[in-house]
Every structure is written in C-alpha cells, then in structure tokens.
C-alpha cells in the first residue's frame, strides 16, 4: 500500500504476471492497441509466469574520445578483484550500460553511484533509467559526459559502489570497486 499526498492509503489492485495482463481484455481492440503501444512488440518467450521482473546487466563500459572503450568485466559476486579501471585526469568520459529485461515489466529502474576518497564521500550520482518491458535485445543507456577531476589531490585511489535498483527497491546488481585517477591512461 502507498499513501497519496494527503496521507490516505492507496489500495493497489492485485498483481498479476505480464502474460495474464496481455491475455486480459484481448477481445477489446482499443485496450489491445493501448497495451501494444505501451509494451511494444513483446516476445511471449521473454514473458515469464512470475510476477518478478528479471534484469541482467550485460555490460558496463567507459567511453572517452581520448581512447578506445573500456569494457568492464562484471564479477558474479559484485566485487572486482583489485583495481577495476583507471581514468586519466581532466579527460572527458561517459558510462554506458546494456541490460536485458525478462519475465515482467521492470518499473522505475535507477542507477546510483557513490564515490569515496580516503573514506570521504566525494561524489554521488542518481539516474532514473525508466520503465522497461521484456525483450530479447538488450536496452542500452549512456550517462551524460563528465570530466575527470585533475591535480595532485585528485590523483590516487578511490572506492565506489554502483547499484541498479527498481521502484520496489529490488537490487539487480551491486558492485563495490576501486579505481584510480592518474596522469595518463593505463590498464590495471
């Protein structure tokens, strides 16, 4: 149950699988068209019998005009061993991730990233990715371009935590990692 602006409880209807949603009212032409417009062409093979959507992060990449893309390996346990990547100070970069959705619609998928240097929080990012229906092809999202900090105090090791979470606070991936900012691009 949720509350509206005046604090009244909102009664949500019963949850049902996407397959059940698609089967409901299939004889109503306008509802069928509306669902098609909302969902696009959903492959019934990607639609599960479960209520819970499944989101799999397929790839994480760092894009920079100064070098070739850095494709980051996604560890099973969410904890890359050692230094995960290095950024060159003052360089422009953006993050791109690809993810697949199956079983059901994922509502309000968000990406959050928090960065610390010597135990002090130095950056925090939250980006709403959106609501996605199941499909074979991965969705891709590119974050706005940023500039890496520079100078003596900016260089060195950082720790960070990235998460992909939906509106129901279900976490699909949480990664704790370390990275460096250096004078030049290097590979860890």
Token digits of residue 2: 């949720």
Average pLDDT of the segment spanning 141-167: 94
DSSP 26: T
What residue ranges in 92-170 does DSSP mark as E strands? 92-102, 106-117, 120-132, 139-142, 146-147, 156-165
Which pLDDT tens digit goes with each residue over 33-76? 766 666 665 655 555 566 788 999 999 999 999 899 999 988 87
Average pLDDT of the segment spanning 113-138: 93
Is there a contact between 156 and 103 (Cβ–Cβ < 8 Å)? no
Q: End-to-end distance of the chain based on CA atoms, in angstroms?
A: 47
Which pLDDT tens digit goes with each residue over 74-90? 887 778 888 899 999 99
DSSP 65-84: TTS--EEEP--TTS--SSEE
Is there a contact between 47 and 19 (Cβ–Cβ < 8 Å)? yes
3-state secondary structure at position 45: helix
**Domain definitions of the chain by residue range:** 2-46, 54-182
* pTM greater than 0.85: no
Tell me the HSE value of 128 on the side-chain side, using a 13 A CA sphere.
5
3-state secondary structure at position 8: coil
Give the CATH fold of the 54-182 domain. Answer: Coagulation Factor XIII; Chain A, domain 1 (2.70.50)
């Amino acid at each position: 149950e949720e509350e509206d602006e005046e604090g009244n409880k909102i009664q949500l209807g019963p949850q049902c699988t996407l397959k059940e949603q698609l089967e409901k009212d299939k004889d109503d032409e306008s509802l069928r068209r509306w669902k098609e417009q909302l969902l696009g062409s959903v492959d019934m093979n990607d639609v599960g019998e479960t209520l819970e959507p499944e989101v799999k992060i397929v790839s994480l990449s760092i894009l920079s005009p100064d070098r070739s893309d850095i494709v980051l390996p996604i560890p099973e346990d969410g904890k890359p061993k050692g230094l995960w990547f290095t950024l060159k100070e003052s360089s422009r970069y953006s993050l791109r991730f690809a993810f697949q959705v199956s079983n059901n619609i994922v509502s309000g998928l968000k990406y959050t990233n928090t960065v610390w240097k010597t135990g002090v929080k130095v950056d925090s990012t939250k980006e709403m990715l959106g609501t996605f229906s199941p499909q074979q092809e991965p969705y891709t999202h590119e974050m706005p371009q940023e500039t890496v900090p520079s100078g003596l105090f900016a260089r060195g090791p950082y720790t960070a935590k990235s998460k992909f979470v939906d509106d129901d606070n279900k976490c699909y991936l949480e990664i704790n990692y370390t990275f460096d900012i250096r004078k030049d691009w290097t590979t860890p």
